[in-house]
Amino acid sequence: DAGVTQSPTHLIKTRGQHVTLRCSPISGHKSVSWYQQVLGQGPQFIFQYYEKEERGRGNFPDRFSARQFPNYSSELNVNALLLGDSALYLCASSPYAQSHEQYFGPGTRLTVT
């Protein structure tokens, strides 16, 4: 069975640009969460989506947005990129919004120059 997939693997952007990251959850999983991991830190929660609705939002500015599609895949959008947005962006899927275990994709490494 395919695990969580994310694209692209790596991305280099310039300050002020916007970026779209994509995630496909494990088949049968309806919940997708996004996390940002800065080097040397643990992942920080950005969003959770379940059944196409936002269920939770972390402490991130409005430049960060996301959505979930009818097939449960998800996009994370970041506008007006800052140098500090450089990080590994992780997508995790789980069967339901209240599921304890979350299963992670390989991440997208975003570098902002």
Partner 1 sequence: DQQVKQNSPSLSVQEGRISILNCDYTNSMFDYFLWYKKYPAEGPTFLISISSIKDKNEDGRFTVFLNKSAKHLSLHIVPSQPGDSAVYFCAASTNAGNNRKLIWGLGTSLAVNP
33 in contact with partner 1 (CB under 8 A):
yes
25 in contact with partner 1 (CB under 8 A):
no
102 in contact with partner 1 (CB under 8 A):
yes
- CB 94 within 8 Å of CB 102: yes
The region of 14-22, 68-76, 77-85, 97-105 touching partner 1 under the rule CB under 8 A is 97-105
Please state, in angstroms and rounded to a whole number, the distance separating the CA atoms of residues 78 and 65: 6
8-23: string of b/e by CB count within 10 Å (b at 16+)? eeeeebeeeeebebbb
Residues that bind partner 1 (CB under 8 A): 4, 6, 33, 35, 40-45, 48, 50, 55-56, 58, 90, 92, 94, 97-107, 109
